[in-house]
Amino acid sequence: MEWPMEHQGLGVVLVAPQIPQNTGNIARICAATFSELHLVKPLGFSLEDAALRRAGLDYWKEVRLFLWEGWDHFTAANPRKRLLFFETGTYPPYFTASFAPGDMLVFGRETKGLSQRILSFSPHFIYSIPILNGKVRSLNLANCVSIVLYEALRQILLGKK
């Protein structure tokens, strides 16, 4: 099967990420899928951080990276984009979402997730990744982005929900 190049215009939005290795890994995922990467300050690291660069390998030149001073700057610059939020908890599972080209997939910081202020921005578009073992409280951010981004691509590229 041939996959369309720069097919869907999806964006991954990380709000106040803290761990450079996660962000570097997510940058590599974005490069591999032609997805934009939006980093919303404050960041818990410098963009020159060696761990960030190492995790992204030499793919940084392939990343369409956007850096925003804060949530309000991001939303003001993207007023027509549909925002889908991913959070821990009892929200509907991510695979019940209907993804479309141009969607922005929004994830919060590793330790605290997204604030109530941000979640209230679009309360009907909040999803979670089910954790079946109740003794596990969270998943790695880069893994979460991978799970959701590839489900979005599956739906968009194959036309399936």
What is the value of pTM for the model shown? 0.92
pLDDT of residue 6: 55
CA distances from 72 to 79, 81, 122, 148 (A): 11, 14, 14, 24
Q: Mean of the per-residue pLDDT values for the chain?
A: 90
Confidence of residue 12 (pLDDT cuts 50, 70, 90): very high
CB neighbour list of residue 116: distance below 8 Å, 6 or more residues apart: none
pLDDT of residue 148: 98
Q: How far apart are CA 82 and CA 98, in angstroms?
A: 11
| 91-103 tens-digit pLDDT | 999 999 999 999 9
CB 98 within 8 A of CB 155: yes
CA-based torsion, 120, 125, 129, 134: positive or negative = positive
Residue whose tokens read 């969607």: 103
CB 24 within 8 A of CB 52: yes
pLDDT of residue 139: 93
Q: How far apart are CA 52 and CA 8, in angstroms?
A: 26
The CA angle 12-135-152, to the nearest 5 degrees, is: 25
| 18-77 tens-digit pLDDT | 999 999 999 999 999 999 999 999 999 888 878 777 766 678 888 999 999 999 999 999
Interhelix angle 20-33/141-158, nearest 10 degrees: 10
pLDDT of residue 1: 45
CB 114 within 8 A of CB 108: yes
pLDDT of residue 48: 85
Domains of the chain with bracketed CATH: 1-93 (3.40.1280.10)
Residue 108 annotated as binding site: yes
Q: How far apart are CA 81 and CA 103, in angstroms?
A: 6
CB neighbour list of residue 112: distance below 8 Å, 6 or more residues apart: none
Residue 46 annotated as binding site: no
